[in-house]
Amino acid sequence: MKLLDYSFSTTIDFSVPVRDHYFVLRCMPSPSYTLRVLESDLTVEPEMRYVRQTDSFGNLVAIGRKSEEHTRIGYHSSGTVRVDFNWAQPDVAHPVFRHSTPLTRAEGALATFAESLGTVKNHHDVREVDGFCLHAMSSVHDAMAYAPGTTTVATTASEAFAAGRGVCQDFSHVLVTALRHAGIAARYVSGLALGEGQTHAWVEASVDDFWYGYDPTRNQEVDETYIPLAWGRDWSDCPVERGSFVGLADQTQTVHMTVKEHAEQ
């Protein structure tokens, strides 16, 4: 069991004023069997109204609108969660997680790679499936170099794999693609990991109806220090911020987050 304090801020600066700004934020931890939210706070600046909803993937979203002109929007999400893998319960994966998406199609070198990983004989054999996922994770980690700035949010798994580099998003897309290719339901997770800096992304695979987490960027199994913010088929289902506004502005985004173990008082 881990008790974690998280804090996550994003600021978007616009080069010229924008108005009629509608946004959808996925920046709050969504409760699950293994994660309980003890405290959660979201503030948006400039002050504006928003509502909370849960999307089709079970992600907590904040949805709002700022109609007046502004040159900056910032939001700050913080709180405390308790993560305990002993609480895990069977959770049948929606079949949509078995299918490829435009960002996660096995093409070219990635198709060959996915093929080379072999197949799973018995999808109910936890050891076999987990072993396959771990092997796939390490293989992705070995095949790709961590290189910020070389890819964008629109880079597909196959493109990143062919280039042999990318960031956590690309590593995760590649792993998701490879797992689905082997018939394993897999989902992309955007979230926060212990430490400070940027948001992180990893992969969860459905292993005999339990979700197991794999972090191909760090080449490690996901432990109780990871806090999921959003699940989806790929990145496009989980952006921390999606907006639509009126105004021809350039945007500069600044993100900062910290996760640390809660100091018992």
Partner 1 sequence: MESLVSHTARINDQLARYGVKFGIYKNGVFNERLFPFDAIARVIPADEWQVLERGLIQRVDALNAFLKDVYGPQEIIHDNVVPEDFVLSSPGYLASCIGLTPPKGIYSHISGIDLVQSRDGDWFVLEDNLRVPSGASYPLIARTLCRRCSPDTYRTNDIVDNRGYGSMLREVMDNVNCGGINVIFTPGRYNAAYFEHSFLAEQTGALLAEAGDLYVEDEYVYYRGFEKDQRVGAIYRRISDEYLDPTTFLPESVIGIPNLMSAYRAGNVAIINAPGNGAADDKGIYYFVPKMVEYYLGEKPLLQNAPTYLPFYPDDLSYVMDNFERLVIKDTAEAGGYGVVFAANLDDEAREELRQKVLNSPRRWIAQEIIDFTELPVHLAEGDVPRKADLRAFVLTGHETKVWPSGLTRYSREAGNAIVNSSQGGGFKDTWILAH
- 99 lies in the site for partner 1, by CB under 8 A: yes
Smallest gap from residue 218 Cβ to partner 1 (A): 28
Q: Which is nearer to partner 1, 2 or 66 (CB)?
A: 66
Smallest gap from residue 260 Cβ to partner 1 (A): 32
Using CB under 8 A as the binding rule, the residues of this chain from 43 to 82 that contact partner 1 are 49, 51, 53, 55-57, 63, 65, 67
- 19 lies in the site for partner 1, by CB under 8 A: no
φ, ψ of residue 173 in degrees (nearest 5): -60, -40
- 94 lies in the site for partner 1, by CB under 8 A: yes
- 98 lies in the site for partner 1, by CB under 8 A: yes
Q: Which is nearer to partner 1, 164 or 183 (CB)?
A: 183
- 243 lies in the site for partner 1, by CB under 8 A: yes
- 100 lies in the site for partner 1, by CB under 8 A: yes
Q: What is the 3-state secondary structure (H, E, C) of 205-234?
A: EEECCEEEEEECCCCEECCCCCEEEEEECC
- 253 lies in the site for partner 1, by CB under 8 A: no
Q: Which of 47, 86, 95, 116 binds partner 1 (CB under 8 A)?
A: 95
Count of positions on this chain that bind partner 1 (CB under 8 A): 25
Residue numbers at the binding site for partner 1 (CB under 8 A): 20, 22-24, 49, 51, 53, 55-57, 63, 65, 67, 94-96, 98-100, 232-233, 237, 242-244
